[in-house]
Structure 1
Amino acid sequence: MDFKHQTTVTLAEVAAAAGVGESTVSRVLRNHGSFSKKTRDRVMEAVEQLGYVPNRIAGTLASAGSRLVAFVIPSLSNIVFPDVLRGASSVLEENQHQAVFSVTDYDPEREEALVAAMLAWRPTAVMLAGFEHTQGTLKMLRATGCRVVELLDLDGSPVDLAVGFSNAAAGRVSAEFLLKRGYRRIGYVGHDLERDTRAGKRFGAFCETLGSAGFPLADREIHVGASSVESGRLGLERLLARQPDLDAVYFSNDDMALGGYFHCLARGISIPSQLAIFGYNGLDIGRVTPQPLSTIRTPRVSTGRVAAELVVANAPPQVIDLGFELIEGATT
């Protein structure tokens, strides 16, 4: 059977079918400018009949002001970043901006390549996680004419706009909370601290706070790779094999902490009387476990929303501290 090559339907073909000019079709599809209901109906009927798909990126590049907003994020498996995207997308859609994203897998060299690729489309803004980037990435961000928004961290110097909270402060508050509860033999289970620099900042401040109080971190178990429930469970198992007398464990995030929680359930370890568990992020699943997880709740959706609002408003360079909330839960 022979198949004919299907060519892309053009704006000119839609205009011809509707009996109007290309500029009128463009106004109708963008819902911007003046046109009658009758004209709109004719254009939309032609669009439906021909199966026309608007080339939004081409339209963006051709316009005087780009409406493309590029997100370069570390992960999609970690719910933190989909939450940020969810918060931003509602604002961007309301203001006729288009969000696109790419994933770095916490690899700074990959981030640099993806930033270069995104900037080639001349977006109105680029949003990234944190302040730690390669020199090449920083050079591109500082030279670009678009807005730059760094998210989910305030411990550093922003290129332009920054929205989030202090990870170092979250680490300190977590340590102070466990010490106040009377825990003294405290361990840590986490994931790759070199790639996830925000987790590294929390861990550093946590250890510093424990040490200053005279109760240095007893031991740590670091999983090389991305965080997950499974790696949290295995990490706690290994840590307790070395340090069975720990009375509390701080986890790099709630995914890891839930893995530790499941390990305790499987081994009959009473929480918190035998072992206290403390996480980070304040995920919904941690709130509905039989014993709600003790954690730090971060404003992920709000971070995305506020960042998008700043971009849409073309706000001057600034830092927005949204803070965080300590959730006492029932695991400490």
Structure 2
Amino acid sequence: MTQSDTRPLTLRDVSEASGVSEMTVSRVLRNRGDVSDATRQKVLASAKELGYVPNKIAGALASSRVNLVAVVIPSMSNLVFPEVMTGISQVLEETELQPVVGLTDYTREKEEKVLYEMLSWRPSGVIIAGLEHSEASRAMLRASGIPVVEIMDVDGTPVDSVVGISHRRAGEQMAAAILKAGYQRIGFMGTSMPRDHRARKRFEGFTGALAKAGVEIVDSAFYEGRSAFVKGREMTKEILERDPELDFLYYSNDMIGAGGLLWLWEQGYDIPGRIGLAGFNGLNLLKGLPKELASMDACRQEIGRQAAEIIVNRLKDGADQAPVRIALEPTISYGDTLRRP
């Protein structure tokens, strides 16, 4: 990002874009004073298009910053993100910066609202999950004038810097390991793809690699809501009732995979002989299962650390530094549910 790209927007920018005075813009954005509906809508539309966010620091200059790093993630109930936060905190605790968390519940509308509120306090940087944002969110991030690091995923075009893994490559690697182990009748279970972009990319990489080897997914099942053991149990039972000859089940995350593993264990299935299983995320929480679920480490804590280090270094060396792209390499853990080649 060049210096001109990172210059914070001001009331004057909104004034010029909307064709009204700075005082009128101020009244609209503070929701004060007598302003016509037409003028109000014109100002709000211009501010949204520019990505302008009001500065809530009373009496401060528009260029001032507070020692906060905005961390925008989908959920804290998803066990992935507490580990990301651990990595972020380990780096920031050595500085004057403090992370402040906003949750989006995997929706673009909530992400816009969270970003608007957080950026209005002029944080020193933003760490935000994913690469898929609304145009309004991207505009706010571009116009913020501060370091932005998108995390978890590198398959796409970032606003600024990015740290993550290639989820398409992760799907391809798991498909290759499954085929090399001799499995052929493969079922897939996961979250509803429109909202879970990273799961969608893994699925695309997975099915693409299978197709190159002349293999297709035999059956699949998708669900809405949080990942849980019960979802994995239910879907595993249902998919095997539809096709008892399936010899491998690939789950979009470890939580539903663990539920499937427990159900199969209770039914007396030979794992990984009769049927193999794999999930994604490499959650340490699941190490106490009767068998260790095959999975792939998503480098969660390291992603958090590297993202925070980018913010710290950019603040130290100047915001006009070139964006950074860090693609980490996840590794497959075969556990006890995927035959080793």
The TM-score normalised by the length of structure 2 is 0.77
What's the CA shift for 1:282?
A: 0.6
User: Residue type matched to 1:84 in 2?
Assistant: V
User: Residue type matched to 2:290 in 1?
Assistant: P
Q: Counterpart of 2:48?
A: none
Which runs of structure 1 show a deviation greater than 6 angstroms over 4 or more consecutive aligned residues? 57-63
User: Residue type matched to 2:285 in 1?
Assistant: I
Change (3 A) 1:60 1:252: farther
Aligned partner (choices 321, 335, 338) of residue 329 of structure 1:
335
Q: How many residues align?
A: 276
Contact preservation (8 Å) 1:83, 1:301? yes
What's the CA shift for 1:289?
A: 2.5
Contact preservation (8 Å) 1:61, 1:121? no
User: Residue type matched to 2:329 in 1?
Assistant: G
**3-state SS of the aligned residue for 2:296?**
strand
1:188 equivalent in alignment to 2:188: yes
**3-state SS of the aligned residue for 2:272?**
coil
Output the CA distance in 1 between the equivalents of 2:232 and 2:75: 18
- Give CA-to-partner distance per residue, 1:5-55, whole Å, 9 cap, x none: xxxxxxxxxxxxxxxxxxxxxxxxxxxxxxxxxxxxxxxxxxxxxxxxxxx
Q: What is the RMSD computed on CA atoms of the aligned residues?
A: 1.9
Output the CA distance in 1 between the equivalents of 2:238 and 2:58: 53
Output the CA distance in 2 between the equivalents of 1:98 and 1:213: 49
Change (3 A) 1:60 1:256: farther
By relative contact order (CA 8 Å, sep 6+), the higher-ranking structure is: 2
Contact preservation (8 Å) 2:66, 2:121? no
**3-state SS of the aligned residue for 2:127?**
strand
Output the CA distance in 1 between the equivalents of 2:311 and 2:144: 15
Percent identity, aligned pairs only, is 43
What's the CA shift for 1:226?
A: 2.2
**3-state SS of the aligned residue for 1:81?**
helix
Query: Any residues of structure 2 matched to 1:16-31 within 5 Å, and which?
Result: none
What's the CA shift for 1:257?
A: 0.7
Query: Any residues of structure 2 matched to 1:105-120 within 5 Å, and which?
Result: 105-120=105-120
Output the CA distance in 1 between the equivalents of 2:156 and 2:311: 20
What's the CA shift for 1:205?
A: 1.0
Query: Any residues of structure 2 matched to 1:1-332 within 5 Å, and which?
Result: 64-314=64-314, 316-332=322-338
The TM-score normalised by the length of structure 1 is 0.79
**3-state SS of the aligned residue for 2:250?**
strand
Contact preservation (8 Å) 2:154, 2:163? yes
**3-state SS of the aligned residue for 1:100?**
strand
- 288-297 or 111-120: which moved more? 288-297
User: Residue type matched to 1:71 in 2?
Assistant: V
What's the CA shift for 1:64?
A: 4.4
- Give CA-to-partner distance per residue, 1:194-233, whole Å, 9 cap, x none: 1110001001111111112111000101012222222111
What's the CA shift for 1:268?
A: 1.7
